[in-house]
Every structure is written in C-alpha cells, then in structure tokens.
Chains A and B, each alone.
Chain A
C-alpha cells in the first residue's frame, strides 16, 4: 500500500465525534436505567404475589391480583366515590385553614417578640405525632366536623410557618432598600420582589403540608367519623378483611400521590417558569 492510498482510505472512513460518544453513553445509560426500573417492579410485585400464597396465609397478605379484583368489586358497588368525596372535602377545607393559620403565624413571626411567643408552638407543632391531635380532637369533639379540621390545622400549620419564616428571614434586604430609595410603591414592591422571593418557600410548605394533611384527615376519620376513607379502613380492619382494607388504602394512596406529584408539581413548574427562563438565557 502506498502512502497516498492509505491517506485516501482514511478520508472516506466515518469519523466518530465526541458528541457521538456522549450520545452513545446516554443511550446506554437510559437502557440500563429502564431495565433496572422495570426489574424493580417485576421483583417487588413478583415477590409479593409469590409470598401471598406460600410464605404468609392468603388472608394475611392478599396478592396484587386479589387486590385488583376486590377493587373492581367495591367500585361496582358504588361506595367509592362518596367516601372519596367526603375525605377530599375535609382535606381541602382543613388544608386551606392550615395554610391561612401557618401563613399568618409565619408573617407575625417577623417581629422578635412574637417570634419568641410562637417559638414553642411551632416546636410542638412539628414534633407532636399527628395521632395525638387526632385522639384529642376525637375525644373532645366526637363525630363533629370540627374535630378533623382542628387536628389537621394543629399538625400542618407549623410546617408552613417554618417555611414562611425562613423565607421572610432571607428576604434580600438590598433589593428592598433599593426599591425604597427609588420610591417604588409598596404594592409594586411586593409584587416584584417579596412575592417572587417568598414563592418557593411557600410552595415547599404547601407541598409538605399537603402530604401531611391528607394523612392526618384519614387518621382522624378512623377514630371519629362515619364516612370517608379512614372509616372504611377501620370497618375493614374490624371485620378482618385485609383485601378490602388494602384496596381502600391503595386506591386512596394512588389518588393522593397523583395529587402530590402530578398536580402540585405541574403548578410548581408553571409558577417557576420565569426562573428557568433566566437560567436558559
């Protein structure tokens, strides 16, 4: 082979760029990730299905297929929508109340004296198990509407307060001073500086608070209600119907996860479009 011939062949070979290597690695990573993700589902569901008949009695550990068939039965009976509705309305009202209280206390805590005043309230709010509030309100208020609502407020307000408080502490003082120096009105200042700054903190509070609120509502319903998901779960437990129990909790759990992940995350993405726009630019 002469030198020129090899040179010609070299030019016609496809060149592998760095981009290609990166792309290839990314594709390989994606396959590996999807493979293991699916394997995770297969393993867990498979072990569950297997364990149901063999390792533990069928009544003590219903298999996934049993849960699905029970779900179809209960749905056909028509009880599900009303129970869901009762619980969801309690969650909506309860969480709205907690948000208002949490926001108010968080804003009030700007003042040092009030911060000292509410400090223990927030501490107790964060460390006390929700069950405690559920039992106290259940014994005091019995079956009344007030019980679950108060329990939710007491359990969740602290989380929202802490986030709002942190947000207010971290307000960019230099921007606010600058806006005062340029005589920007209070309303405009709030809209352009304070609220966008506080928004992520409030949002974190809302996300965590919501995840707690729905759990506490279901918990109080177990003790002090005659409608709703928690009530249905208690009935199933007392009748020792594990499959019915699992069906109710899994159905509601899927709904709650949907609300948390899909709804709240979409809202978050919508709110924070402007931030990503900045980084892209």
Chain B
C-alpha cells in the first residue's frame, strides 16, 4: 500500500492514464460521434511507426537519427551566433545607458515576435537550405541572451567594482576577474533559454522553408496525412527535448558550478530560471 501512495508511482501511472484516455476516446468517437475528427491515430499504429523509425525503416527521405542530427547542427550554429552577438550587445547595454536606450525597444520587439512570422518571412526571403533556419534560431534566441547578460552586468556586486578601482586594477583585468565570474549564472540561464527557444524557432522554420530536418519531416508526415507519423514524430520531439534540457544541461551545470558548494548547482540555475521568469518580458521560453 505504501508503494501505491508514493509520488513515484503517480509519475509512472501518468503515461498509463494517457494511454487509457487515448483508447477510451477512440472507442467513444468511433461509436458515438464519428464526425468529431478527421483522422484518428491508434496507439498500435503509433507504436509500430516508432519501432520502424528506430530500426531505420522509413518512407521519409531521411531516417529519424539523420533528421534530428541535421536539425541539431543548425541549432548549434545559430545558438553560437546568438550567444556571441547577444553577449556583446548585452554587455554594451548593461554598461552604457545610451546603448541601452538604443537597443531596448528593438530587443523587446524581437522578443515578442512570433516564431511563425520569422519562419515565413525567412522562407520567402532565403528559400530552402540552411541559412533560413539558422537566422531564425539567432533571432529567437538573441533577445534572451541580451536580456540575461544585461541583468547579469547590472547585478554584479558594486563593492567588487569599487574595490578593484581602489586597488587600481586595470579595466581588462577587472572585466575578467570581477565581471565575468558573476556573469556566469546569467550566461548559463541565457544559454539554456536561448537553446530551448532556438529549438522551437528552428522547428517552425524548417516546416515552412526546408527540405530536411525535424520540422520538415513532421510536415512531411502531415502532408501525407499519416496521423501516426505525426504523433510518432511528436513523441521523438518530446524525447529529444527532455534529453537535452534535463540531462545535458543539468550535467554541465553540475560541473560549471562546482565552485559553489553552498547550493547545489542545479538549484543555482533553477533559481536563476525561476527568478528570471517574473522579471523578464514575455517568454515563450516555454511554448513559443
């Protein structure tokens, strides 16, 4: 009885509940109201589809592993550009009121623009290929990097700056030893957010302007009206996102924040994550 009451059982029970709900809905729709839906994917079809894909047996031009690898490469390049450019602009905005005034309205504007708009525009302006999706990744991720870096600069403890000035430490040394270390948690939050958001933007960009990649393949199955393909690929997406967000970033966080023994590393980033949310302008970090 104790086992049944533990939260872990609840967590394992959830997929079971989803499956049951799915099967019940299929029965209900088939017998009560067939016109409620156009196509009805069945769990067995989806399971077969997923198994086939994993065995590299697919109708799509590329199999699931190649597809996600193509998308990952684009995401990586765009993310690096966003981090580099964003950090420079963020530093400038944090250190100078003029720079802040210059860029601020545009950062807000880019932040609030839906991925769809970038994706459609870029697909028309740049056609197929890698450029379009990479540009969308940069545009989606850069506002977050800028905002986080700017907050990081503003949140550096003033006393350290005063101290380095009184000890006549040079500008470059001050930046390296005072600014950069206290910027680390913010950079980490920036990296994590921009990666997650960039991924979402990339997928939309690939749907409209690509001939390969995860987003395009999803659209491939949608155009082929194979509901089990669409749901199956959605499953791959969820697994991919969970693997990357939870495992990769958490392990990196543990190593980067070894020097902070008081809090666990994950807590530091989670703190930043949570703390940023109320103060930041709209997100989507989540679902954008």
Contacts and interface: CB of A to CB of B under 8 A. Distances in A.
Secondary structure class of chain A's binding surface, majority of residues: helix
Interface string A125-143: 1111111100110111110
A253 B101 CA distance: 22
B97 interface: yes
A44 B102 CA distance: 10
A266 B130 CA distance: 42
Interface in B182-232: 196, 199-200, 203-204, 207-208, 215, 218-219, 222, 225, 227, 230-231
A71 to B, nearest CB: 15
A215 B288 contact: yes
A215 B234 contact: no
Nearest to B11: A116
Given A130-B288, A260-B282, A36 B274 contact: no
Interface stretch (A81-89, A171-179, A190-198, A205-213): A205-213
Given A36-B99, A237-B124, A139 B230 contact: yes
Secondary structure class of chain B's binding surface, majority of residues: helix
The residue among B17, B105, B121, B208 with the most chain A CB atoms within 10 A of its own CB is B121
A60 B124 contact: yes
A219 B97 contact: no
B200 A130 contact: yes
Nearest to B127: A60
B28 interface: no
Contacts of B99: 36
B20 to A, nearest CB: 13
Nearest to A143: B38
Nearest to B231: A136
Contacts of A61: 125
A70 interface: no
Nearest to B233: A132
Given A56-B125, A211-B112, A237-B123, A135 B230 contact: yes
A204 B121 CA distance: 30
A24 interface: no
Contacts of A138: 222
A262 interface: no
Nearest to A248: B117
B287 A249 contact: no
B15 A120 contact: yes
A117 B8 CA distance: 8
B70 interface: no
A260 B9 CA distance: 40
B284 interface: yes
Interface string A221-262: 011000000100100010010100110010001001100100
Contacts of B10: 113-117
Contacts of A34: 101
B241 A116 contact: no
Interface string B21-51: 0000000000000001111110000000000
Contact of B112 (A37, A155, A260): A260
Nearest to B5: A113
A245 B114 CA distance: 14
Contacts of B112: 211, 253, 256-257, 260
A223 B219 CA distance: 10
Contact of B277 (A117, A208, A242, A246): A208
Contacts of A200: 278
A93 interface: no
A163 B252 CA distance: 26
A44 B164 CA distance: 37
B203 A129 contact: yes
Interface string A142-163: 1010100000000110110001
Interface string B263-288: 00000000000100110001110111
Given A127-B238, A128-B287, A120 B14 contact: yes
Contact of A117 (B13, B238, B274): B13
A159 to B, nearest CB: 5
The residue among B10, B114, B237, B283 with the most chain A CB atoms within 10 A of its own CB is B114
Contacts of B288: 130, 212, 215
A32 B225 CA distance: 57
Given A60-B125, A124-B238, 19 more contacts: A32-B98, A33-B97, A116-B7, A117-B11, A118-B14, A119-B14, A127-B241, A127-B245, A129-B200, A130-B200, A131-B215, A132-B218, A140-B40, A156-B287, A166-B274, A212-B283, A215-B114, A245-B120, A249-B117
| CB-based closest 6 A-B pairs | A116-B7, A116-B10, A211-B282, A117-B10, A215-B114, A155-B287
Interface of B: 5-11, 13-15, 17, 36-41, 97-106, 109, 112-117, 120-121, 123-125, 196, 199-200, 203-204, 207-208, 215, 218-219, 222, 225, 227, 230-231, 234, 237-238, 241-242, 245, 274, 277-278, 282-284, 286-288
